[in-house]
Structure 1
Amino acid sequence: MTGANIAILLGVLVGGAAPWLEAVVVIPGGILAGVHPVPVVIAGLAGNLATVAGAAWFGERVRAWWVARRGTRAETGGRPDTGGRWQRVERLVRRWGLPALAVLGPIGLGTQLSALVAGGIGITPRAAFVWVGAGTVAWGVVAAIAAVTGVSLTGVTAP
């Protein structure tokens, strides 16, 4: 592996870890730059999943801090007393479930935000990481397949 390929893989790793850049965006970029798809997918997902794990853990900590600081209301069933926006997000996750958040996270909300929200509404960090991580891996593989197939279908070659 050349120095340029290693630099590209490091860029994919860091890009995957960056919020709102997502592995789904940087994986095709690394493939189009000419690096073999397998290490690109591994680097992009490793960077993204590391920050997803941190966000899931942090979401639980934020929730615990909020509950301790503000207290809870008996009518909220132990959930923190928060505003209407938080309740809408919670209602969405309760209605459609964590799998929907995991599927939509990489393409809409961002994986880190999805994991943070899941932890913040009381889902364990482990469950949040597993579900959002599974969605991230699935979308990363889809992005890699699309990039490789698109390159071969259009005849575009890497520099």
Structure 2
Amino acid sequence: MVPDFLWQYALVFLAAATPWLEIMVVIPVAVGFGLAPLPVTVVSFMGNALPVFGIVALFRGWERRRGPIKRRWSPRAQRVWDRYGLPGVAFAGPLITGIHLAAVMALAMGADRRLTAVWMTLSLAVWSLVTLVATVVGFESMGWLFDRLQEQP
């Protein structure tokens, strides 16, 4: 029989791997359910990064078989790409479109596969750490606040 905590972390991994369920949602929810913050962050990072690596590895083959992805992006997405390039798309992706779509967009715009993998991974690492710190500080602050409210008569 598999221990419950392995199922819980497997669910964290799968949730993080799901498009549009970014680490900024998965980490606070999992920690809120009582899982340890650091393992949740590592598992979420891996769950979010693995599909990105798959997208990067398989994208050119997809285009060869199916034809190029329509390169008509919203004016906002095009502006981000024109102004900030791959680093901007990588760091804005988790906030705006999700990292998976950001990877597809970067590759469709002609970004190098290796650089796309590097920038997306770096972005996920930074956002994972930011989310970890914000989550821990947020829950600690809420605990402090609730303790203070209970002390008052």
Q: TM-score range by the shorter chain?
A: 0.7 to 0.9
Paired residue for 1:120, among 95, 100, 108? 108
1:40 aligns with 2:9: no
In structure 2, stretches of 5+ residues that fail to align are 147-153
| Percentage of identical aligned residues | 30
Query: Within 5 Å, which residues of 2 pair with 1:93-108?
Result: 93-108=81-96
Query: Within 5 Å, which residues of 2 pair with 1:2-151?
Result: 3-65=3-65, 82=70, 85-86=72-73, 89=77, 92-151=80-139
Whether the aligned pair in 2 keeps the contact of 1:27 and 1:41 (CA below 8 Å) is: yes
Change (3 A) 1:56 1:81: closer
In structure 1, stretches of 5+ residues that fail to align are 70-79
1:145 deviation in Å? 1.0
Aligned residue for 2:19, secondary structure, equals coil
1:126 deviation in Å? 1.5
Q: Give CA-to-partner distance per residue, 1:49-90, whole Å, 9 cap, x none.
A: 000111222333344456xx5xxxxxxxxxx6956x249555
**Following the alignment from structure 2 to structure 1, what is the Cα–Cα distance between the partners of residues 83 and 91?**
14
**Following the alignment from structure 1 to structure 2, what is the Cα–Cα distance between the partners of residues 146 and 29?**
12
1:104 deviation in Å? 0.7
**Following the alignment from structure 2 to structure 1, what is the Cα–Cα distance between the partners of residues 26 and 69?**
38
The TM-score with structure 2 as length reference comes to 0.80
Whether the aligned pair in 2 keeps the contact of 1:63 and 1:119 (CA below 8 Å) is: no
Change (3 A) 1:139 1:24: same
User: What letter corresponds to residue 49 of structure 2 in structure 1?
Assistant: L
Let me know the Cα RMSD of the aligned residues: 2.6
Q: Which residue of 1 aligns with 2:149?
A: none
The TM-score with structure 1 as length reference comes to 0.77
The alignment of Structure 1 onto Structure 2 pairs a total of residues equal to 143
1:152 aligns with 2:140: yes
